[in-house]
């Protein structure tokens, strides 16, 4: 049995794909993707700087390949992301006039969403619009268009493709203050009669945080809004989080950061087991609430390709995913497979 088969009656099991994984399409990687996962998310190629590099120029090449792969393997295809302040194509920043900025944003959303109408099953319409305290991030979108940009973005996306599920997606969504902000924000959009279909909790988590209680409470609170809940960018870092270390002097160069890359020669069995248990605990919760969860997507297939080898410190060796650097399933994979057998 594969992961995809084991979880098919629970929720979609997804992975993010980047261009390297798509281009290796006749390798072991492609086999893993098609067999083990039932959904894919565009890790980078649909971000505005890649897909819409100039105001009048789109570059759909990689995104088209991504969508075609989803069709080939009969997957639920998720688009990421229509409105995001980061990796924003530089031309947005050259528009002075607010109305013109709003027009350009509307056109950006509609051109992309309508091009993939019927092919993209769900979209992250707005990504990371909140600060940690739950207030709205002072992004270029907020500055130019005011708070209305949020409802407008969802309205425009629905006008372009009413059939796709439309999501708000963010990280640290288990943090109580941010959670309250997200709930207020989505409620405000819904109250305007604009459709939001789901909330994406990114799930860039650690071995010990967030707590299972916080994760569970978040799933319950978000779904109480009447929307779907997706875990959209799941990975579990096994490395020390520099932001946890009080007063630590962190350099972007790990060689100067004592103890920050402890497993560069391999992951000790004890940590391998910890990771497998953490995944087991998290997935027990997901299965408990499977009626509320539409999709659980890992932020990549194998450890070697994870963004967490380069963040928040460059050049580390992290082990956050289900497949190791040789594309072999890890204990974490076995643990969530075994768990499903019991449900």
152 vs 169, which CB is nearer to ligand G3I? Answer: 169
Binding-site string for ligand G3I from residue 197 to residue 226, where x marks contact by CB under 6 A and - marks none: -----x------------------------
Q: Enumerate residues 71-90 that contact ligand G3I by CB under 6 A.
A: 87
Q: Residue 264: which of 319, 320, 209 has the closest Cα? A: 319
Active site residue: 159, 213, 233, 249, which one?
A: 233
The residue behind tokens 């009447």 is 226
Q: How far is the CB of 220 from ligand G3I (least distance, A)?
A: 23
Q: How far is the CB of 276 from ligand G3I (least distance, A)?
A: 23
- Find the farthest-apart pair of alpha carbons in the chain and give their distance in angstroms, rounded: 58
Q: Which stretch binds ligand G3I (CB under 6 A): 26-34, 41-49, 97-105, 131-139?
A: 41-49
Q: How far is the CB of 307 from ligand G3I (least distance, A)?
A: 4
Find out whether 134 and 182 touch, Cβ atoms under 8 Å. yes
Choice from 106, 197, 233, 303 touching ligand G3I (CB under 6 A):
233
Alpha carbon distance 287, 11 (integer Å): 9
For the chain, first and last CA: distance in Å?
15
Sign of the C-alpha dihedral, residues 138, 139, 144, 149? negative
The Cβ of residue 180 has, within 10 Å, a number of other Cβ atoms equal to: 14
Strands 228-237 vs 204-206: parallel, antiparallel or unpaired: parallel
Choice from 2, 5, 25, 44 touching ligand G3I (CB under 6 A):
44
Find out whether 305 and 21 touch, Cβ atoms under 8 Å. yes
Cα three-residue angle 252-255-258, rounded to 5 degrees: 95
For the record, the structure tokens of 36 come out as 């083990």
The Cβ of residue 251 has, within 10 Å, a number of other Cβ atoms equal to: 13
Active site residue 233: yes
Binding-site string for ligand G3I from residue 157 to residue 196, where x marks contact by CB under 6 A and - marks none: --------------x-------------------------
106 vs 233, which CB is nearer to ligand G3I? Answer: 233
Binding-site string for ligand G3I from residue 114 to residue 133, where x marks contact by CB under 6 A and - marks none: -------------x------
Q: How far is the CB of 22 from ligand G3I (least distance, A)?
A: 12
Residues catalogued as catalytic? 233
What residues line the site for ligand G3I (CB under 6 A)? 18, 43-44, 47, 87, 127, 171, 202, 233, 307
């Amino acid at each position: 049995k594969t992961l995809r088969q084991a979880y098919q009656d629970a929720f979609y099991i997804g992975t993010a794909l980047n261009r390297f994984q798509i281009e290796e399409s006749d390798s072991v990687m492609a086999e893993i993707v098609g067999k083990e996962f039932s959904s894919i998310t565009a890790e980078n190629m649909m971000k505005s700087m890649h897909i819409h590099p100039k105001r009048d120029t789109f570059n759909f090449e990689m995104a088209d390949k991504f969508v075609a792969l989803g069709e080939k393997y009969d997957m639920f295809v998720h688009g990421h992301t229509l409105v995001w302040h980061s990796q924003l194509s530089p031309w947005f920043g050259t528009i002075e006039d607010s109305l013109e900025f709003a027009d350009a944003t509307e056109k950006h959303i509609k051109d992309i969403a309508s091009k993939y109408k019927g092919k993209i099953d769900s979209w992250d319409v707005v990504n990371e619009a909140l600060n940690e305290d739950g207030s709205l991030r002072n992004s270029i979108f907020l500055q130019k268009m005011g708070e209305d940009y949020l409802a407008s973005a969802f309205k425009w996306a629905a006008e372009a493709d009413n059939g796709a599920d439309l999501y708000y997606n963010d990280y640290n969504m288990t943090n109580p203050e941010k959670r309250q902000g997200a709930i207020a924000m989505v409620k405000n959009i819904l109250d305007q009669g604009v459709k939001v279909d789901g909330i994406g909790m990114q799930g860039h988590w650690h071995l010990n945080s967030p707590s299972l209680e916080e994760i569970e409470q978040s799933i319950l609170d978000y779904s109480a809004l009447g929307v779907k809940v997706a875990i959209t960018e799941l990975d579990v870092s096994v490395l020390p989080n520099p932001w946890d270390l009080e007063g630590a002097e962190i350099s972007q160069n790990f060689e100067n950061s004592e103890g920050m890359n402890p497993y560069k020669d391999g992951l000790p069995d004890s940590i391998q087991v910890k990771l497998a248990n953490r995944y087991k605990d998290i997935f027990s919760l997901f299965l408990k609430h499977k009626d509320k969860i539409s999709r659980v997507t890992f932020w990549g297939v194998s450890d070697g390709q994870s963004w967490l080898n380069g963040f928040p410190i460059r050049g580390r060796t992290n082990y956050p995913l289900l497949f190791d650097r040789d594309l072999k399933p890890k204990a974490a994979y076995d643990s969530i497979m075994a768990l499903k057998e019991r449900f």
